[in-house]
Amino acid sequence: MLSQSVLTAMNDQIKYEFQAAFLYLSMSAYLESLELPGAAAAMRQQSDEEMDHAMKFFDYINDRGSRVTLQALEQPQTNFASPLAAFEAALGHEQKVTGLINAIYAAAVQEKDFASQQFLDWFVSEQVEEEKSASLRVARWKMAEGHPGAMLLLDHEMAEGSEGAGE
Ligand SMILES: [Fe+2]
Ligand SMILES: [Fe+2]
């Protein structure tokens, strides 16, 4: 069984991962509305990955003989000032999630819960990749802003998953 502090933090994390999935799906809908199908597809895939993250916590809590408690989600942001503004919001969300993962890790260290630390190691590395790819998107869409040709090129790259940012 998980300690109460680790269990509470992990149940909260299921919500944050689904909240991220919801936000990225909302961004995908926004990008579709701008006729940027490549960027929309990339954010939809990002949304799927966040659901996988939520389910990793779901399975792990069950594996440890503890109880999953799902929580209500908030309505995600539905409108953005520009694609750049959406990617900046995505980066902000990833930075917040990194802080949350670190806080769960700290709770697992405090409880001398070594299995949870090992489980969380994957998320620590994943957040490095997530922040890296989100930062690269922000930097590149900043360069392209106001230049339709450059924006179409970036959209095309995102369709192919060839942004060079890794997964
Ligand atoms: Fe995640
Ligand atoms: Fe993420």
Q: How far is the CA of 19 from the centre of ligand 1 (A)?
A: 9
Tokens for 54, please give them.
């939520």
Asked whether the predicted pLDDT for residue 165 surpasses 60, the reply is no
**Ligand closest to CA 24:** 2
Which numbered ligand comes closest to the C-alpha of 129? 2
CA distance 87 to 78: 13
CA of 145 to the centre of ligand 2 (A): 24
pLDDT band, very low/low/confident/very high, at 35 (cuts 50, 70, 90): very high
Which numeric CATH code is attached to 4-70+81-160? Answer: 1.20.1260.10
Predicted confidence (pLDDT) per residue in 110-149, tens digit: 999 999 999 999 999 999 999 999 999 999 999 999 899 9
CA distance 15 to 71: 6
Fill in the amino acid letter for 110: Q
Distance CA 31, CA 159 (A): 12
How many angstroms separate the CA atoms of 86 and 90, rounded?
6
Which ligand gives the minimal distance to the CA of 15?
1
pLDDT above 50: residue 166: no
